[in-house]
Amino acid sequence: MKEIKVVKQIMEWNDDVSDKIKELTASKNVCIINVMGSPGAGKTSLITRLIEELSKEYKIGVIEGDITDTIDAVKIDELGIPVVQLQTDGACHIEAMSIEHILPMFNLDELDIIFVENIGNLVCPAEFNIGENFRIAILSVPEGDDKVAKYPLMFSTSDFLVMHKYDMKEYFDFDDKRVEKDTLDRNPKAKIFRVSSKTGDGLSEFVEAVKDKVSMRS
Ligand SMILES: Nc1nc2c(ncn2[C@@H]2O[C@H](COP(=O)(O)OP(=O)(O)OP(=O)(O)O)[C@@H](O)[C@H]2O)c(=O)[nH]1
Ligand SMILES: [Mg+2]
Ligand SMILES: [Zn+2]
């Protein structure tokens, strides 16, 4: 019988590339952390805070995902951290193929952690594995406490949920217990943190949890 050529859909292809990235980073003992959340949730601010704390122990690189511009990459570069700006030119999520393309731009032998700041978006970034070891979902207080229920995939697939901008809580009707319940109902293993990158409150507990997770890489 004649063999039929089959082309896989993008999701399956994406997962194949994601698995290849995982093999590579495992062999290099590098941990990729996929940081996701809405536009302005504080992804860059939290990554910056984590870099300040973790760079004492770990060598860190960053991939900044944005539609356009280099604003976030410039901020990371100013910290003296190797960074590549991925511009998706309109696409609203990062695919594994982009990460595969970018990784050779880093010296993986000299890195322990690569943060990937995903495109600001609560929806499709969660659908795409990008070779990450784990995921951090950020939900900032001003966005509202119903977002886990309304955009469940990101929160059900992330290892950590950070309720961010927690210093703003008194100004918003934000029910943190509801967020906690909505998350744990969908993702009982999720670890949940209340953090302000502005004041530093809640940061040290989160940093320790990230360190634990990084130490389990490969
Ligand atoms: N009050 C308060 N503001 C914060 C906190 N973290 C970040 N911000 C502010 O929130 C705004 C957005 O922060 P960014 O870190 O740029 O957010 P982002 O998610 O990286 O944004 P995009 O990359 O554009 O999607 C900035 O004005 C920050 O100063 C926080 O913990 N508390
Ligand atoms: Mg940012
Ligand atoms: Zn998208």
pLDDT tens, N- to C-terminus, the chain (218 residues)? 899 987 777 888 999 999 999 999 999 999 999 999 999 999 999 999 999 999 999 999 999 999 999 999 999 999 999 999 999 999 999 999 999 999 999 999 999 999 999 999 999 999 999 999 999 999 999 999 999 999 999 999 999 999 999 999 999 999 999 999 999 999 999 999 999 999 999 999 999 999 999 999 85
User: Helices 43-54 and 203-215 sit at what angle, rounded to 10 degrees?
Assistant: 70
Please identify, by atom number, the ligand 1 atom nearest to the C-alpha of residue 45: 15
Which of 35, 45, 66 to mutate to test ligand 1, by most ligand atoms within 8 A of the CB atom?
45
Pocket flag, ligand 1, residue 169 (CB < 6 Å)? no
Architecture of domain 10-215: 3-Layer(aba) Sandwich (3.40)
Pocket flag, ligand 1, residue 67 (CB < 6 Å)? no
pLDDT at 11: 84
- The domain locations on the chain are 10-215
Predicted TM-score (pTM) of this structure: 0.96
Ligand 2 centroid – CA 54 distance (Å): 19
Which residues make up the environment of ion ligand 3, defined by Cβ < 5 Å? Answer: 92-93, 124
What is the distance between the alpha carbons of residues 189 and 105, in angstroms, rounded to a whole number?
Answer: 34
184 CB burial (10 A radius; 0-12, 13-18, 19+):
middle
Pocket flag, ligand 1, residue 196 (CB < 6 Å)? yes
pLDDT at 218: 58
Tokens encoding 119: 């495109």
Pick the closest to residue 210 from 27, 32, 28 (CA basis): 32
Pick the closest to residue 132 from 106, 158, 110, 104 (CA basis): 158
Please identify, by atom number, the ligand 1 atom nearest to the C-alpha of residue 195: 31
What is the distance between the alpha carbons of residues 26 and 112, in angstroms, rounded to a whole number?
Answer: 11
